[in-house]
């Protein structure tokens, strides 16, 4: 039995790509995918390249295509260096999509928004842990506040509902995403090995020992579908992580063994600066190992790596609310990284 027609916005990212795959393989959805380029995902779905910053383009392209959409899954993101502009543009994009779908789809039932633990100020420094969905907000600006507030205001008096998910460090098999930690680690290790260096944690000493959490893209996709289809989740936000915690000091010995490298003591370096001149090294390595060619600048999000490995405080989200509501999946985060590295290797992305 079909659940409805899903509109996946941002269908090539580390969240959207897995959500698209999950909805297609479930066999319970018709799917319309929005992204700048067509996703490398097989299956029966329609793809549209829409300029989300252009309200008129959204309305024009979705007028007919979104006529029978019942669920919107919003996972798009446009990076901006200024946090005020970041919030403004990304909120505008969300509003453009929802406005266009509301005009076109009288049967709209749900809009889901992908957020993150920056909701709790995890990007600003130490924060209250474990973070709960009911925690007080920090001083804005915060893109997620603006997006959720806009969604809540628009939903008032409407027949559709909304939900939001707050994952952390989403990891999956995805190329070109600026926030895929698994690929940052894999490319960092491969370049270090090519240069004859041991594997050293590149972040702050405190980050090496702090507690950290991750969210597997596949687990997240299942959680998002659950939120969007369960009545008890209507008009609420939920934390979703793998349900365990890790310390980089425990994981890095396993990474060193996986990549057949010696393990060195942590050494704090800036990944953006130290990887900027390594394209020739990567090209030499890729040619020797017969890797599938990918633009070096798009392989790994070094700025994201610097952010993650510079967080020398605990990053912990409470999963109790999702568990009590019925989502009880969990996953071993350390094994997740090893499994993803194996997939990248099999696809000849890394040696």
Q: Mind listing the pLDDT tens digit for each residue in 43-69?
A: 999 999 999 999 999 999 999 999 999
Mean per-residue pLDDT of the chain? 96
Strands 46-48 and 71-74: unpaired
Calpha distance 40→20 (Å, rounded)? 10
Q: Break the chain into its structural domains and give their ranges.
A: 4-169+215-239, 177-213+245-316+330-346
Dihedral sign computed on CA atoms, order 187, 193, 196, 199: positive
Strand partners of residue 7? 32, 72
* 336-346 b/e (C-beta count within 10 Å ≥ 16 → b): bbbbbbeebbe
CATH code at 4-169+215-239: 3.40.50.720
Q: Which helix (H) or strand (E) holds 5?
A: strand 4-9
What is the DSSP annotation of 107-128?
T--EEEEE--GGGGTTTTS---
Calpha distance 273→308 (Å, rounded)? 16
Instruction: Say whether pLDDT at 173 is over 80.
Output: yes
Q: What is the pLDDT of residue 2?
A: 82
Q: In this structure, how many other beta carbons lie within 10 angstroms of the beta carbon of residue 236?
A: 15
Cis peptide before 141 (omega within 30 of 0): yes
Q: Check: CB of residue 256 under 8 Å from CB of residue 199.
A: yes
User: DSSP letter at 163?
Assistant: E
pLDDT band per the 50, 70, 90 thresholds, residue 175: confident
Order of strands across the sheet that contains 4-9: 46-48, 29-34, 4-9, 71-74, 110-114, 161-166, 236-239
Rg value, the chain, Cα: 20
Q: What is the mean pLDDT of residues 325-335?
A: 98
pLDDT digits 0-9 by tens, 266-312: 999 999 999 999 999 999 999 999 999 999 998 999 999 999 999 99
pLDDT digits 0-9 by tens, 191-207: 999 999 999 999 999 99
Q: Check: CB of residue 189 under 8 Å from CB of residue 296.
A: no
Q: What is the pLDDT of residue 286?
A: 96
């Amino acid at each position: 039995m079909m659940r409805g027609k899903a509109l996946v916005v941002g269908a090539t990212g580390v969240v959207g790509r897995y959500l698209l795959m999950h909805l297609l393989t479930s066999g319970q959805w018709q799917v319309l995918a929005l992204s700048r380029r067509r996703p490398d995902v097989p299956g029966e779905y329609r793809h549209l390249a829409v300029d989300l910053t252009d309200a008129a383009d959204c309305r024009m392209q979705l007028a007919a295509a979104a006529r029978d959409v019942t669920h919107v899954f919003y996972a798009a993101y446009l990076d901006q260096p200024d946090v005020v502009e970041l919030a403004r543009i990304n909120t505008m994009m969300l509003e453009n999509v929802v406005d266009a779908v509301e005009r076109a789809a009288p049967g709209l039932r749900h809009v889901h928004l992908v957020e993150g633990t920056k909701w709790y100020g995890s990007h600003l420094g130490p924060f209250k842990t474990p973070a709960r969905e009911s925690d007080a907000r920090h001083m804005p600006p915060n893109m997620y506040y603006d997006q959720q507030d806009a969604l809540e205001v628009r939903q008032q008096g409407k027949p559709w509902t909304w939900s939001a998910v707050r994952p952390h460090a989403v990891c999956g098999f995805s190329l070109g995403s600026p926030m895929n930690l698994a690929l940052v680690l894999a490319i960092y290790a491969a370049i270090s090995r090519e240069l004859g260096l041991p594997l050293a944690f590149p972040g702050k000493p405190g980050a090496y020992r702090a507690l950290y959490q991750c969210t597997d893209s596949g687990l997240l996709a299942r959680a998002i579908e659950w939120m969007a289809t369960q009545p008890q989740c209507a008009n609420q936000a939920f934390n979703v992580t793998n349900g365990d915690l890790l310390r980089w000091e425990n994981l890095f010995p396993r990474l060193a063994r996986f990549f057949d490298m010696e393990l060195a003591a942590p050494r704090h370096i800036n990944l953006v600066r130290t990887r900027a001149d390594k394209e020739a090294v990567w090209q030499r390595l890729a040619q020797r190992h017969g890797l599938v060619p990918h633009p070096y600048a798009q392989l790994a999000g070094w700025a994201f790596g610097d952010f993650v490995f510079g967080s020398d405080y605990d990053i912990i989200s409470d999963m109790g609310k999702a568990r009590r509501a019925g989502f009880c999946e969990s996953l071993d985060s350390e094994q997740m990284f090893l499994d993803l590295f194996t997939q990248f290797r099999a696809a000849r992305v890394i040696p």
